[in-house]
Chain A
Amino acid sequence: MGALKSKILVLALLPIPAFFFSLLIGRYEIPPVTVFQIFISKIFNPMMHSPWPQAYEIVVWEIRLPRILLALLVGAALSVSGTSLQGLFRNPLVSPYILGLSWGASFGVALSLLVPVPFSAQVMAFLFGLLAVFLAYSIAKVRGETPVVSLVLAGVIVSAFFTALQYIAKFFLEPHELQGLVYWMMGGLYLANWEDVSVTFAPIIIGIILLSLMSWRLNVLSMGDYEAKMLGLNTEVNKIVIISLATVIAAVSVSVVGTIGWVGLIVPHLIRMAIGPDHRKLIPLSATVGATFLLIADDLARSLTSYELPVGILTTLSGVPFFVYLLKKTKGRSWG
């Protein structure tokens, strides 16, 4: 028990050292002590006359900090979304994108580049992401019920549909617009600013809190529709609420940073392997570990080479071998 408790504590506190470590990293060299001085003075004494160059302050406060916060928020959102949906669907291959979210969102972006729309690309990504999931849910619904298999299949259908639409859009896009779309789809945090943080903060935090509160119910739902009904749950209502929350937090993330893959697939597995299947622990720890995972990946993306690497590629490249190792080591036991 003691070992498990200390493991949980470590995982819960992981984002804190990662946060301070990430503040120090960057191509623009600033002495670590100065970084912390800027950070502290900005928080406790914003009016203070700063003895360090103005540029330092901009780098730390306007570039690094919002990017770090956005990485934490998005990493937490994608992981919690993945954990919730994997539990609900009882399926290890489920990610936040399973119901067509990513393809809907990228079509939304393509459309915003192609035709004049009254919304920004971000809003279009969000709206079309939600639209895709809503379509998948509607397709899967038969006689008031949405069996999990139908949902997953409907997700495949909707993804295929939006992929096709997106190819049509791509066909008509100018080369430089096409490039923009490709970068967006690879996902990245390089444009992060305080506005992104303020837009994503409330929905992601509220979504994660609500899903954490429903975590025990998720345990019951993970026994399957049939048993959950016999245990007194209205499975359809519960399903709609959990899918909606998981979709909204993922869609908010995708709309701001693009489709960063694998975070929502790997992190839930990692935690399940480390501390077991109880969603009461899984959901909050998915948030902290997912946040840390994406933050570290983004640190690497912006510091590894002289170019900025798309963080989505790094999350995939770093996630895959680690995942294979864990799968071999635990022999897939975290799935019964």
Chain B
Amino acid sequence: MITAKEVKFSYEKELVLKGVDIEVVKGEVATLLGPNGSGKTTLLKCLCALLKPLTGCVYVNGRDVSKMKRGELAKLMGHVPQDHKPPFPYTVIDVVVMGRAPYIGAFSIPSRKDYALAEKALEIVGIGHLKERVYTQISGGEMQLVLIARALAQQPQVLLLDEPTAHLDFKNKILVLKTVRSLAKREGLAVVMSLHDPNLASMFSDKVYLISNGVIIDRGEPSKVITRDNLERVYGISVEVIDQNGMKFVVPVLDDLT
């Protein structure tokens, strides 16, 4: 569904991505895990053609994203931004219906059908009741769900999320990631997201890409990738990995804490 081949990228001289390959298929949740500055966000930006790789290509459904028009790509790929500052207090439904933009002409407005699809997207993520609320007055978790609904309204096949849990409390982190996971399964989306927390990656992904310094260190099922060796190598702190019903949980070792 979405494939990156040998993607290299640099902002200045130094390579931020040093030849990255990923492949995520329909119904699969892939997580990019790695420390700050490892290249997760840059990779996501290359995946959605916001940045053009120095070498290498990104394909969605076998089509090179750098050769597609924005409008075409937006029909295949939904994107949930991280640092999102809404300037105007639009209603929730008005924000979600913006997901229909790739299907609506420059001089047109959304039709009843577009609104129906936007409402359906809200129902799917479970916040149909927020429809008429003012977007800037809902909670951070609800906002994230609204943005996911907006991406769904694009009727994409691929969903990208840039640290979807960044500013959320414990409960909302779980709620948002549960929603993302069930979307991948029910709607058959290929999901690529970046996360900071190895435990959340372990709980909600089918596949983890462990990134450090622009290189993918390890890839595969969370239980195989989230290991003591891998994490100590990437994060440079000592950790212990606990097995809980086959799911791996990471606890930092705090030997200097008195």
Contact = CB atoms under 8 A, between A and B. Distances in A.
A234 interface: yes
Interface string B91-103: 1001000110110
Contacts, number: 85
B106 A214 contact: yes
B109 to A, nearest CB: 4
B88 A335 contact: yes
A223 B106 CA distance: 16
Nearest to B75: A232
A232 B74 contact: yes
A230 B48 contact: yes
B89 A231 contact: no
Interface residues of A, number: 32
B88 A230 contact: no
Nearest to B90: A277
B107 interface: yes
Given A232-B70, A233-B71, A278 B154 contact: no
A280 B109 contact: yes
B101 A232 contact: yes
Q: Pick from B50, B72, B106 the residue with the most CB of A within 10 Å.
A: B106
Nearest to A333: B89
A336 B87 contact: yes
A232 B89 contact: no
B86 interface: yes
B71 A216 contact: no
Contacts of B109: 215-216, 280
A216 B104 contact: yes
A336 B136 contact: yes
Nearest to B105: A217
Interface in A56-112: 87, 90
A336 B84 CA distance: 13
B98 to A, nearest CB: 5
A183 to B, nearest CB: 38
Interface size class of B (residues with CB under 8 A): 20 to 34
Nearest to A334: B89
A232 B102 contact: yes
B19 interface: no
Contact of A226 (B81, B108, B136): B81
A220 interface: yes
B68 to A, nearest CB: 10
Contacts of B30: none
Contact of B79 (A87, A214, A230, A233): A230
Contacts of A230: 48, 50, 74, 78-79, 81
Interface in A218-256: 219-220, 222-224, 226-234, 238
A215 B74 CA distance: 20
Most buried by B among A213, A222, A227: A227
Nearest to B136: A336
Contacts of B101: 217, 220, 228, 231-233
Contact of B88 (A229, A233, A277): A277
> A-B pairs with the 3 shortest C-beta distances?
A232-B74, A232-B102, A277-B88
